[in-house]
Amino acid sequence: MKNNFVKSKQRVKDFYDKVKDATVGTIDTLIEEYYHEDVVWNGPQPFNTLKGRKALAEKFWKPYMRAMPDLQKNTFMHLAGNNHFANNNEWIVSSGHYVGSFDNDFVDIPASKGITWICYIEFNRLKDNKIIETYTIIDMLDLIRQAGISFVPALAPEVIIPGPSSNDGVIMDTRDEEESKKSLQIIHDMAYKALSSYQDTGLGKMGLEDYFTENFIWFGPCGIGTTRGLEGFRKYHQKPFLDALPDRNTYPDFFRVCFAEGNYGALIEWEGFWGTHKGGSWLGMPPSNKKIVMRDADLYLIQGDKIAENWCYMDVVDVLLQMDVNVFERLRDGRYIKLN
């Protein structure tokens, strides 16, 4: 048995493909064609929530296109499904890069005058064949890094995040429902059983080896970096993260989506995951004792019965802001480390 999300996936993909031919003068028309008049777009710092087509065009797209006149929105993963936490609530998730020549300053980030690859993930819900709700994380900190500016030292290497090694992440056809259910179960159990057992079992005893292949790759955001294998994952991300937020938890009612299509899956928790920043080393920040609420999402590639690749997206700039590090204020004041 197969689910058919072809029409909705194609609709979103068509918008992405047309961005490369759009300009500041034509983006309003494109947004009117593909976005619902009541659209609510939830993005990273400094954009946050934008309501309506006009706000989306004026506050995000036009400044972005002025900064990068040859902007493209390239996709390396594209899938859809019904939200596990809300039946018959269909979402399309995409990830890839915004690619462009960074010719002009953008939200106080000085232009590098060179090409940039900015990683993004985007969850979209449609109504009347138009996008009415969006949750997107764009790695703004990595754009800053590529402009030669640093705020926090990453523990693992920071790279331009690639797409799946299998080169089949853009799913425009239909996939077997039983395979999708199997993938969803693996992802759900890893996230809500294994990872959630930390306080009872401690690091290294959560059974993650049952869910990840031996040499799996965890692609992390700027400020954290990318790791390989469970040892690297624990050393460079998991331990610093858990030490920093030892009381982490989730609110009972918050926005989250989890689904799978074929051997790919997606999960987002938006401003529902929280913890008190009590430990050091994570993001290079000393304990602030502040309550941190996170915008984060993941994509997964399943091979056999385990996760082979995991892309993690996080609004790190928003996390730093809650730790009293205002990245954009520091950019305006020139308080940063110039890398080149």
- Residue 298 belongs to some domain of the structure: yes
For residue range 263-314, list pLDDT tens digits in order.
999 999 999 989 999 988 899 899 999 999 999 999 999 999 999 999 999 9
User: How many domains does one find in the chain?
Assistant: 2
Query: The domain that contains 276 carries what CATH number?
Result: 3.10.450.50
For residue range 69-107, list pLDDT tens digits in order.
999 999 999 999 999 998 769 999 999 999 999 999 999
Choice between 194 and 163, residue whose per-residue pLDDT is larger: 163
- Residue 158 belongs to some domain of the structure: no
| Helix or strand (DSSP H, E) at 118 | strand 115-127
DSSP line for 35-100: EEEEEEEE-STTT-EEESHHHHIIIIIHHHHHH-TT-EEEEEEEEEEE-TTSTT-EEEEEEEEEEE
Taking residue 135's Cβ as centre, other Cβ atoms within 10 Å add up to 24
Q: Which two tokens stand for residue 110?
A: 């000085």
Taking residue 233's Cβ as centre, other Cβ atoms within 10 Å add up to 21
Residue ranges making up the domain that contains 291: 177-338
- Residue 160 belongs to some domain of the structure: no
Domain final residue pick, 133, 150, 167: 150
Rounded to a whole number of angstroms, the distance between the first and last alpha carbons of the chain is 55
Torsion of CA 85, 91, 97, 100, to 10 degrees: -130
Question: Quick one: 133 and 249 in the same domain?
Answer: no
Q: How far apart are CA 61 and CA 147, in angstroms?
A: 20
- Residue 172 belongs to some domain of the structure: no
Q: How far apart are CA 326 and CA 336, in angstroms?
A: 11
For residue range 174-198, list pLDDT tens digits in order.
999 999 999 999 999 998 888 775 5
Question: Quick one: 118 and 26 in the same domain?
Answer: yes
pLDDT at 3: 58
Taking residue 99's Cβ as centre, other Cβ atoms within 10 Å add up to 16
DSSP 208: G
Task: Name the residue with tokens 């077997």.
Answer: 176
Q: Which two tokens stand for residue 97?
A: 């890069």
Question: Quick one: 134 and 46 in the same domain?
Answer: yes
- Residue 299 belongs to some domain of the structure: yes
- Residue 161 belongs to some domain of the structure: no
Q: What does pTM read for this prediction?
A: 0.95
Amino acid identity of 74? N
| Helix or strand (DSSP H, E) at 25 | none
